[in-house]
A and B are shown apart, each in its own frame.
Chain A
């Protein structure tokens, strides 16, 4: 089974990388770009057949390592 975890900075947390990307897009004359937030995508191959178990296991991984929940939120997608 494969899973995709998307980790993003929580709303309200300053994202200097996203800001820099936004400025670069604006300087390419994409003046319609109002905001950019940058996060990360982590794909995990899992030796698991139960979706429920996989989800629970990945949630633990997110809390323990993959995201720092002080400033980051995460979403799990089983694919």
Chain B
């Protein structure tokens, strides 16, 4: 896949994300948020973790209105693939691409640790390399990761098989233990955990490797 990683002031996981994408064979390009056009033939837009615009106003709110985002929305409307990790997930919800919002963690603390996730969707581009209910270990590092959505939206997510990952031991109070969700067409994924931090053998766990490898096998 040709993947574009969007960088905002305050993004800090962009290099890790680029490294994970390259390791698994993707062609990559970095795009600064002030750009108004995306290069042609981009298959995947990846939005990294971090603290875009210092988390001012609400996490992801300002990034979601940045110049490049109009192009990101156009790419998604055309059926393009997009991935938002951590702050990237917050940005996708603020842009209205994914339902709900990421609130402050229930316990008020910033949580940085490795958590176990259960894979709930195994048909999407992002998750087809896993088996149903497989448990994977992926790090989290966030203060606003408590997923909240209206009851109707939660029902739709369940009914349309849009819940990608659930926490086994809910760390932040997220509704229905949700760690990651897909758009209705299953081509956009937002998730709080960081699969790019578990891709190389030096990371001590490579449960995120097949996530990025799976993306390559789709196209």
Q: Residues of A at under 8 Å CB distance from B?
A: 13-14, 16-17, 19-20, 64-66, 68, 70-71
Contacts and interface: CB of A to CB of B under 8 A. Distances in A.
B103 A14 contact: yes
Contact of A16 (B57, B100, B105, B148): B105
A16 B58 contact: no
Given A13-B148, A14-B173, A68 B104 contact: no
B106 interface: yes
Contact of B104 (A16, A64, A66, A70): A16
Interface residues of B, number: 19
Given A68-B94, A68-B101, A70-B100, A14 B106 contact: yes
10 shortest interchain CB distances as A-B pairs: A16-B108, A70-B101, A16-B104, A20-B108, A68-B101, A71-B101, A68-B58, A16-B106, A65-B65, A71-B148
B46 to A, nearest CB: 23
Interface string B103-130: 1111110000000000000000000000
B101 A19 contact: no
Contact of B108 (A13, A17, A70, A71): A17
Contacts of B61: 65, 68
